[in-house]
């Protein structure tokens, strides 16, 4: 039974869900773009405050969800990433010719799904959270459905995500057939020595989640969806959706022994993801496609943390995830600003960024910092993440994986630097795309500058991030 | 009862194959209805009559009939009559009918032999048990499903509106045609 304590613990999720209803009723009453965005941001902000209030009470277990340190940590970053997406979406949608307010509805619903997903301790909430995260994303990616590319992105994501879900459900059915339980604790207890069925179930679930994370054999949708979807939707997809799915995969790996039996598989997937992702990114002349392949490579690095399960897995995984999240949000944020306001096309081709430094020096600086962080150069936060991952691999003596990371990073450096060089070349006299004149005074400008500062700050002084993760770990042990 | 499970399962697989190999949507839908009824029979054979009845009422009964109606009403016109006559040829309805007849035979045979009870072990799941679970500890799942439907509805209504925003520019229109 749900008690008052449980409801209080779920308050952050409930607040976001309530905001969906408020925004929907607001739209039904009167269509206003800016108030809808403000209400959305306020709801997400309230939810962040509620997280602060709930955190002293953690960990709390409700019948289907658990609000523990990991869930609180992930929810905080989900909400921050959603806020960043909204800050950029508002200016971007200013030029959109159709109804704009539905975007916020979809974004809020997807955020609710992501928050449920990271807090799930039962396969039912895991499945529904994942669906609630993916379903609005179809709408967000196909939001500018008059454009062929956007519609294509939405449909591709829909079809492949449905295929992934089918794998996931089949895997769950196999786990249930072996153990008769659906909650993670029960699964962990009854599958101490996983049989063939449990292992195949876990493998199928890994396939299903791998689709969402775009790990290599399941990555084919990624570049097209990144390229076609509206930039704020892609920001949300690349940050919130991937973060939530990775956290739930981390939870499964840490809790259920059947997943730890797949260490070898995960290692192999990690290796091919980082190599294939980086190699394919080399040939890209489109910035969004390049970031898509780079995200494939980054999830290859992240899988290393899951392939080596020991005491440091959780900390390493989360540090790397945060570094990826902040830098990706920043880089995609700059693309969004360049394409703002919406006019049917986006500034995605690399040559549109030629000479950006001479026109918009600060914006070029933000992109530079974020790309350097993705490449893992100090003093950015990306270096800290790479350091953690390599330390984990070396400690576990998984030399193949470490070699893969080093090789992948070396290849990665080449294409990130190629973009950076383009930024500082002399530019064309009449650029087709440019950020709005007053971009730094708008919400979106503040968001990208803030993200770039965060990348630098956490790169120089990562103690707050590490301390908050130690708090998460302490709660796990207690 | 075990044979009922396997027969219905086989029918479900064959009917689903029919769904994905049929070229015409109406044929596919006929097979899909048979497939759903077969799945309902599987539920009955497993001792979950509530799930079986829901499967029939909700899927085969409401949703699929709606699908069939919509597909049949999509292109009304002078050709519609000839097309409907074509649908009544045996080649089209024979497959689903045979599969449905197998299901009927399974049902009758099971009824004829009296009720031997579910063979698969476990207690019978009643509507009451499902209800108390759903609206007790699983309340959050019900709410989440509601939000899932809401999100789907918003997506569908946004994508479904035609021509409310700007006209498609002539270059893309030419590409499409």
The verdict on a CB contact (< 8 Å) between A2 and B140 is yes
Judged by a CB distance cut-off of 8 A, whether residue A263 touches chain B is no
What pLDDT does A189 receive?
Answer: 86
Task: Sort out which chain A residues have CB atoms less than 8 A from B147's CB and list them.
Answer: 17, 20, 109, 112-113, 132
Least confident segment among A44-58, B46-60, B61-75: B61-75
Q: With 80 as the cut, is the pLDDT of residue A277 above it?
A: yes
Q: How far is A1 from chain B (nearest CA, A)?
A: 5
| Residue A431 in domain | yes
Q: How far is B94 from chain A (nearest CA, A)?
A: 30
Give A21: exposed, middle or buried? Use CB within 10 Å, 0-12, 13-18, 19+: middle
Q: What percent of chain B has pLDDT over 90?
A: 15
The verdict on a CB contact (< 8 Å) between A98 and B161 is yes
Q: What percent of chain A has pLDDT over 90?
A: 63
Question: Model confidence at B116, in pLDDT bands (50, 70, 90)?
Answer: low
Question: Model confidence at A62, in pLDDT bands (50, 70, 90)?
Answer: confident
**For A297-352, what is each residue's pLDDT tens digit?**
999 999 999 988 888 889 999 999 999 999 999 999 999 988 878 777 888 888 88
| SS3 letters across chain A | CCCHHHHHHCHHHHHHHHHHHHHHHHHHHCCCHHHHHHHHHHHHHHHHHHHHHHHHHCCEECCCEEECHHHHHHHHHHHHHHHHHHHHHHHHHCCCCCCCCHHHHHHHHHHHHHHHHHCECEHHHHHHHHHHHHHHHHHHHCCCCCCHHHHHHHHHHHHHHHHHHHHHHHHHHHHHHHHCCCEHHHHHHHCCCCCHHHHHHHHHHHHHHHHHHCCHHHCCCHHHHHHHCCHHHHHHHHHHHHHHHHHHHHHHHHHCHHHHCCHHHHHHHHHHHHHHHHHHHHCCCEHHHHHHHHHHHHHHHHHHHHHCCCCCHHHHHHHHHHHHHHHHHHHHHHHHHHCCCCCCCCCCEHHHHCCHHHHCHHHHHHHHHHHHHHHCCCCCHHHHHHHHHHHHHHHCCCHHHHHHHHHHHHHHHHHHHHHHHHHHCCCCCCCCCCCCCCHHHCHHHHHHHHHHHHHHHHHHCCHHHHHHHHHHHHHHHC
Between A and B, how many CB-CB pairs are < 8 A? Answer: 92
| Residue A213 in domain | no
d(CA A434, CA B94): 63
Backbone phi and psi for residue A230, each to the nearest 5 degrees, phi listed first: -60, 145
| Residue A120 in domain | no
Residue with tokens 């006019």: A343
Q: Report how many domains make up chain A.
A: 1
What is the average pLDDT across A46-58? 91
| Residue A453 in domain | yes
**For A126-169, what is each residue's pLDDT tens digit?**
999 999 999 999 999 999 888 888 999 999 999 999 999 999 99
The verdict on a CB contact (< 8 Å) between A148 and B175 is yes
The verdict on a CB contact (< 8 Å) between B139 and A97 is no
- Looking at chain B, which residue has its C-alpha nearest residue A10? B140
What is the average pLDDT across A196-212? 92
> Nearest CB to B154: which of A106, A128, A146?
A106
| Residue A304 in domain | yes
Q: With 50 as the cut, is the pLDDT of residue A412 above it?
A: yes
> Nearest CB to A135: which of B155, B157, B172?
B155
What pLDDT does A427 receive?
Answer: 78
Q: What percent of chain A has pLDDT over 70?
A: 99
Chain B residues with a Cβ under 8 Å from any Cβ in chain A: 136-141, 143-145, 147-148, 150-152, 154-155, 157-159, 161, 164-166, 168, 172, 175-176
Enter the tokens of residue B43: 């539920």
What pLDDT does A109 receive?
Answer: 96
Question: Model confidence at B123, in pLDDT bands (50, 70, 90)?
Answer: low
What pLDDT does B27 receive?
Answer: 80
Q: With 50 as the cut, is the pLDDT of residue B176 above it?
A: no
Q: What pTM, to 2 d.p., does this model score?
A: 0.89
Residue range(s) defining the domain that contains residue A435 = 262-478
Question: Model confidence at B166, in pLDDT bands (50, 70, 90)?
Answer: very low
What pLDDT does A327 receive?
Answer: 94
**DSSP code at position B56:** I
Q: How far is B170 from chain A (nearest CA, A)?
A: 12
What is the average pLDDT across B128-151? 90
**Considering only the top CATH level, what class is B2-124?**
mainly alpha
Tell which of A4, A131, A133 to mutate to test the B interface (max B CBs under 10 Å): A131
The verdict on a CB contact (< 8 Å) between A136 and B143 is no
> Nearest CB to A109: which of B140, B147, B175?
B147
């Amino acid at each position: 039974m749900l008690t008052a304590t449980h409801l209080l613990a779920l308050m952050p999720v409930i607040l976001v869900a309530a905001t969906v209803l408020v925004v929907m009723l607001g739209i039904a009453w009167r269509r206003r773009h800016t108030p809808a965005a403000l209400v959305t941001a306020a709801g997400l902000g309230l939810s962040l405050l509620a997280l602060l209030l709930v955190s002293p009470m953690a960990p709390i277990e409700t019948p289907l969800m658990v609000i523990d340190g990991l869930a609180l940590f992930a929810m905080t970053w989900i909400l921050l990433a959603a806020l960043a997406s909204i800050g950029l979406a508002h200016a971007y949608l200013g030029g959109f010719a159709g109804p704009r307010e539905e975007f916020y509805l979809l974004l809020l619903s997807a955020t609710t799904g992501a928050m449920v997903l990271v807090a799930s301790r039962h396969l039912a909430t895991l499945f529904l959270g994942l669906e609630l995260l993916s379903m609005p994303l179809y709408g967000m990616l196909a939001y500018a459905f008059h454009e062929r590319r956007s519609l294509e992105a939405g449909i591709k994501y829909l079809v492949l995500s449905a295929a992934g879900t089918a794998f996931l459900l089949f895997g769950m059915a196999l786990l249930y057939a072996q153990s008769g339980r659906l909650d993670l604790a029960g699964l962990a207890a009854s599958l101490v020595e996983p049989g063939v069925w449990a292992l195949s179930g876990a493998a199928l679930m890994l396939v299903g989640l791998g689709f969402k994370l775009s790990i290599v054999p399941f990555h084919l949708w990624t570049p097209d969806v990144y390229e076609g979807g509206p930039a704020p939707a892609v920001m949300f997809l690349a940050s919130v959706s991937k973060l939530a799915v990775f956290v739930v995969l981390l939870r499964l790996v840490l809790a259920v022994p059947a997943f730890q039996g797949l260490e070898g598989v995960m290692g192999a997937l990690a290796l091919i993801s980082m190599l294939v992702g980086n190699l394919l990114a080399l040939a890209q002349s489109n910035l969004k496609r390049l970031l898509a392949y780079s995200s494939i490579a980054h999830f290859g690095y992240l899988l290393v943390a899951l392939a080596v399960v020991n005491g440091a897995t959780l900390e390493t995984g989360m540090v790397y995830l945060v570094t990826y999240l902040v830098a990706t949000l920043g880089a995609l944020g700059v693309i969004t600003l360049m394409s703002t306001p919406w006019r049917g096309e986006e500034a995605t081709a690399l040559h549109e960024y030629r000479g950006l430094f001479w026109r918009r020096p600060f914006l070029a600086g933000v992109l530079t910092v974020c790309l350097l962080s993705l490449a893992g150069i100090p003093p950015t936060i990306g270096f800290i993440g790479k350091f953690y991952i390599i330390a984990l691999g070396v400690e576990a003596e998984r030399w193949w994986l470490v070699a893969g990371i080093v090789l992948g990073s070396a290849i990665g450096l080449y294409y990130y630097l190629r973009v950076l060089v383009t930024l500082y070349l002399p530019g064309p006299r009449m650029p087709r795309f440019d950020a709005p004149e007053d971009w730094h005074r708008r919400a979106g400008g503040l968001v990208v500058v803030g993200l770039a500062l965060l990348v630098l700050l956490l790169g120089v002084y990562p103690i707050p991030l590490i301390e908050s993760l130690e708090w998460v770990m302490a709660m796990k042990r207690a | 009862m075990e044979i009922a499970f396997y027969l219905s399962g086989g029918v479900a697989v064959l009917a689903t194959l029919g769904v994905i190999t049929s070229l015409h949507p109406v044929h596919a839908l006929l097979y899909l209805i048979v497939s759903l009824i077969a799945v309902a029979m599987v539920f009955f054979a497993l001792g979950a009559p509530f799930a079986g009845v829901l499967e029939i009422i909700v899927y085969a009964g409401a949703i699929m009939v709606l699908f069939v109606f919509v597909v049949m009403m999509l292109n009304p016109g002078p050709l519609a009559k000839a097309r409907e006559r074509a649908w009544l040829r045996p080649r089209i309805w024979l497959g689903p009918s045979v599969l449905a007849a197998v299901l009927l035979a399974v049902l009758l045979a099971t009824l004829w032999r009296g009720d031997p009870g579910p063979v698969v072990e476990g207690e019978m799941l009643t509507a009451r048990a499902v209800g108390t679970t759903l609206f007790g500890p699983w309340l959050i799942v019900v709410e989440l499903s509601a939000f899932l439907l809401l999100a789907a509805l918003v997506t569908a209504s946004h994508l479904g509106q035609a021509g409310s925003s700007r006209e498609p520019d002539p270059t893309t229109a030419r590409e499409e045609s």
